[in-house]
Amino acid sequence: MLTAAAALAAARTLRAQEAGPRVATLDWALLETLLAIGANVVAATELRQFRQVAIEPDVPEGVTDLGLRGTPNFEVLRFAGPDLILNSNFYAWANPLMSRIAPVETHSIYKPGESPYILAEQATLAIGERLRRPAARGMVEELAARLDRYRGLFARGDGRPVLPINLGDARHYRVFGSDSMFGEVLKRLGLANAWTGATSYSAMAPMGIETLASMPDAWIVLIPPHPEDAFATLTESAFWKALPAVRENRVLTVGSINPYGALPAASRFANLLAEGISRVRNG
């Protein structure tokens, strides 16, 4: 019996070592990064909404939901028993409270004046090294190679700029500029962003829907989630039907993507954009 108990304890220890440190986070960009590299995530925030907005990577059922990102439940975080908490500049106010539960490390993807794609690469590699997850470097390298391949695909296109937007309602939208993750992906694909105005922390909102008329040459890429009735109301309007992009079949609606994501969001956006434009061309 003693031998069997010792063997069971050793097996549990080995499984724990293989799983790696128990990690928690408040930030969705860090959450999707951790999930994508196979980290042992034990707690995160707003998981139901994350599953609906980010779509991928999958969140294991065993991950504890800490509640809202802005008001997480620290008692639940304590009970989750993390060995390490990863945080970003968005939620830095929580660091003193969380540091009483476990060590806190900060990795920020979005900073004014800096490339979110480069920061996401740096964060992915740093987290992968910290957690001993070789999949992190593989993800960075594979995505860079895939974007290069897609660049060749888009080089054979019509050369038009792309306008990535998210509807607020039937009369307003937010547009993702050059400092957004979507804008960074467009740049790496060799595509121009039709929005050349200023943005703040990746997006500018609200913009009146009438401003779409000032960018008649662009592909319009609609990125959900949208309010349920906004798209239906907009697409039935005379204004929408009169837009050159609509008349010339240059409107794409892709799947939902985390707008403040990291490399997994960049990867999903690139895939959906390539699939969508290929579908329109071949249709």
Residue pair 9/71 in contact by the 8 Å Cβ criterion: no
Residue 12 is assigned to a structural domain of this protein: no
33 within some domain: yes
- pLDDT, position 227: 87
Which of 140, 169, 185 terminates a domain? The answer is 140
Question: What's the domain count of the chain?
Answer: 2
Decide if pLDDT at 216 tops 60.
yes
Reduce the DSSP state of residue 73 to 3 states and report it.
coil
Rounded distance between C-alpha atoms, residue 34 and residue 58, angstroms = 11
| 136 and 154 assigned to the same domain | no
Model pLDDT, residue 206: 82
Q: Do 116 and 158 have their domain in common?
A: no
Q: Where does a domain end: 107, 140, 173?
A: 140
Is there a contact between 122 and 33 (Cβ–Cβ < 8 Å)? no
Which of 129-159 are b and which e, b meaning 16 or more Cβ less than 10 Å from the residue's Cβ? ebbebeebeebbeebeeebeebeeebeeeee
Name which residue leads in pLDDT, 18 or 248. Answer: 248
Domain co-membership, 129 together with 163: no
Separation CA 145–CA 149 (nearest Å): 6
Q: Domain residues for 196?
A: 150-282
Q: Dihedral of the CA atoms 259, 264, 270, 271 (nearest 10)?
A: -120
Measured from the Cβ of residue 55, the count of other Cβ atoms closer than 10 Å reads 18
What integer is the mean pLDDT of 134-142?
98
pLDDT attached to residue 16: 43
**Residue 241: inside a domain, yes or no?**
yes
* Mean pLDDT lowest among 74-88, 126-140, 204-218: 204-218
In a domain, 3, yes or no: no
Taking Cα atoms as reference points, which of 79, 35, 42 lies closest to residue 59? 35
Q: Characterize the bridge pairing of strands 162-169 and 172-176.
A: antiparallel
- Domain shared by 34 and 57, yes or no: yes
Q: For residues 125 and 135, give the distance between their C-alpha atoms in angstroms, rounded to a whole number.
A: 9
Query: Both 173 and 193 in a single domain?
Result: yes
Q: What is the pLDDT of residue 201?
A: 61
pLDDT at 231: 86
For residues 164 and 225, membership in a common domain is answered with yes
Percent of the chain with pLDDT over 70: 91
Q: What is the pLDDT of residue 12?
A: 41
**Shared-domain flag, residues 107 and 216:** no
Q: Which of 119, 140, 161 corresponds to the end of one domain?
A: 140
C-beta separation of 236 from 209 below 8 A: no
**Higher per-residue confidence, 234 vs 205:** 234
The whole-number pLDDT of residue 167 equals: 93
Has residue 1 been placed in a domain? no
Tell whether 4 is covered by a domain.
Answer: no
Does 51 or 205 have the greater pLDDT score? 51
pLDDT of residue 241: 94
Instruction: For residues 111 and 162, state if they share a domain.
Output: no
Q: Are residues 231 and 194 in the same domain?
A: yes
Q: How much is the pLDDT for 11?
A: 38
Predicted local distance difference test score (pLDDT) of residue 60: 97
Say what the pLDDT of residue 196 is: 87
Q: Is residue 8 part of a domain?
A: no
Is a pLDDT exceeding 70 seen at residue 3? no
Task: Say yes or no: 216 and 259 in one domain.
Answer: yes
Does 207 lie in the same domain as 175? yes
Instruction: Give the model's pLDDT for residue 157.
Output: 84
Question: Which residues have a Cβ under 8 Å from the Cβ of 21 and sit 6 or more positions away?
Answer: 40, 82, 83, 84, 131
Residue 283 has a pLDDT of 60
254 and 184 together in one domain: yes
- Kindly tell me if the per-residue pLDDT of 14 is higher than 50: no
Q: Which of 201, 202, 194, 184 is nearest to 220 (CA)?
A: 194
Specify the DSSP element, H or E, that contains 43. Answer: strand 40-44
What CATH number has the domain bearing residue 195? Answer: 3.40.50.1980
